[in-house]
Amino acid sequence: MEPTQLPEAERAFKYFDLYGSMRAHKIMLEDMARMEAYHSAIFKNKSEMIADKVVLDVGTGTGVLAVWAAKAGAKQVYAVDASNAAKLARRLVQSSNVSDVVTILNSKVEEVEIPEPVDVIVSEWMGCFLLKESMFDSVAYARDKWLKPGGLMLPSRATILLGLYAPGNDSDRTNVVKLKLEKEIAEWKETVSNLQSLDVDYSGFTSEVVQDLSDYFLTNSMRVNYLSPDDLASAPQKVLEFDCATVDPTILVQFSQDFEYTISKHAEIKGFLGWFTTDFPNGVVLDTGPGKTYSHWGQQLYPLKESLKVAPGDRVVGTISVSRDPDEPRFNVVELKYQVNTGLEQTALFNVGDVQHLDEGSKNVFG
C-alpha cells in the first residue's frame, strides 16, 4: 500500500511520469468529443482569434493543440509540458511541418521563460468532475504571468453540473453498487478456493471483504458513460460556473453550493450524478453530460446508501461542498447533504480520485 501523504516532489514526479507515456495520451486522443471540440474551437475562431497571434499551449502533451494553432495561422506557439510527452510533441511538430512556428519547452509552466507575452492561452486541463488533477491552478498561473490584458482563454468558461441519478429500466445496470459487489464476491470466492489448494484457508474473511468493499464503493465516485438524460429525476443544476480569464483559482480549492430540484416524475433516486461542460467562443461547447458523445471523463456517480423514492412535485434540497483531498491535492472530496421535502437531512461523503470505472472494457485511470 502507498502511504497516504506523499512529499510534493514525489507527487509531481508521479503525475508527470504518467503523462510521459503514450498510454495516457492514447486515451485522450481517442476521445473524439474532446478532439472535435478543441478542433472546432481553434478552426472556427481562426481568422479573428488565432491567425497572426502568439499562442501559449499549457500542457501540450503530444502537441496536438499547438499543431492545430500553427495550422490555424498563429504567428508563434509556445508549447509547454513538464513531462516526457514534450519529446513526443517535438516529433508531431516536425512531422506536421510547423517547427518554424511551434517552440516546445520541456518545463513546468510555472518555471518556464518565454520571450514575450501571449495573445491566447489554449489548454486541456479538465479532469473528472472538472477539477480532478487541479491543473487549472497551473493554467491560471500562466494566465496571470503571460497573457496580455484582454487576451483569450481557450476554453473560456467552465461549468460543473449535478443531477439526480434515477436510472430507467435498464435492469442490468440499475444497481451499480450491488452488481460491482457481486462481481467482487464471486472473484473472492474463487480466490478462497485457489488458496485452499495452497494450504491456507481464507473462508472466514468473506464478511470483511463484503463490508470493506461496500464501504469503499459508497465513498468513492464512480465513472459512468452510458447514461441518458432519462436517467435523471429532474433537470440538472449548475454547481459552479466560472470565466477562465478572470476566475481566482483559490475559489476552486473549496466551495459549496445549495441546490433545490423539483422532481418531474415518479422515480427512485440512487445517487447524484456530476459532470462538466466547457465553452469556447462562437458557440463551441464540450459537453460531457449524459446522452452526449462518449468522453473519457464520463460522468461521476455518487451512489447513495439508501435510495430516495420521489414523486412529481417533490423537492430534493441540499448542499454540495467540493474541496481538495488533504492527502492528495490533485483529488477532490465531495460532500452531499440532502433531504426530500422536509424529511431527515442525510450526508454522504465521496472521494473523487481513485475513480471506479463502470464503462466495461476501459480501465484507464486518467481524466
Q: H or E stretch including 14?
A: helix 8-19
Active site annotation includes 328:
no
Question: Of residues 6, 11, 16, 339, which one binds ligand SAH by CB under 6 A?
Answer: 16
Residue 155 in the binding site for ligand SAH (CB under 6 A): no
Residues 129, 221: contact at Cβ < 8 Å?
yes
Residue 98: CA count within 13 A, CB half-sphere: 27
**Cis ω for the linkage preceding 155 (within 30 of 0):** yes
Residues 63, 300: contact at Cβ < 8 Å?
no
Rounded-to-integer distance, Cα 196 and Cα 167, Å: 40
DSSP state of 263: P
Residue 332 in the binding site for ligand SAH (CB under 6 A): no
Question: Of residues 50, 85, 98, 114, which one binds ligand SAH by CB under 6 A?
Answer: 85
Q: How far is the CB of 101 from ligand SAH (least distance, A)?
A: 17
Residues 289, 298: contact at Cβ < 8 Å?
no
Residue 263 in the binding site for ligand SAH (CB under 6 A): no
Between 74 and 109, name the residue whose CB sits nearer to ligand SAH: 109
Rounded-to-integer distance, Cα 84 and Cα 161, Å: 34
Q: Please, what's the b/e burial string for 81-90 (b: 16 or more CB within 10 A of its CB; e: otherwise)?
A: bbbebbebbb
Residues 65, 40: contact at Cβ < 8 Å?
no
Q: How far is the CB of 333 from ligand SAH (least distance, A)?
A: 21
Active site annotation includes 268:
no
The two most distant CA atoms of the chain are separated, in Å, by: 73
DSSP string, 143-154: HHHHEEEEEEEE
Between 111 and 199, name the residue whose CB sits nearer to ligand SAH: 111
Residue 134 in the binding site for ligand SAH (CB under 6 A): no
User: Binding pattern to ligand SAH, positions 17-56, x when CB under 6 A?
Assistant: --x--------x----------------------------
Q: How far is the CB of 178 from ligand SAH (least distance, A)?
A: 35
> What residues from 86 to 125 belong to the interface with ligand SAH (CB under 6 A)?
108-110, 124
Q: How far is the CB of 14 from ligand SAH (least distance, A)?
A: 11
Question: Of residues 50, 55, 68, 83, which one binds ligand SAH by CB under 6 A?
Answer: 83
Q: Which of 113, 124, 335, 345 is catalytic?
A: 124
**Which residues sit at the interface with ligand SAH, rule CB under 6 A?**
16, 19, 28, 59-62, 64-65, 80-83, 85, 108-110, 124, 135, 138
Catalytic residues: 124, 133
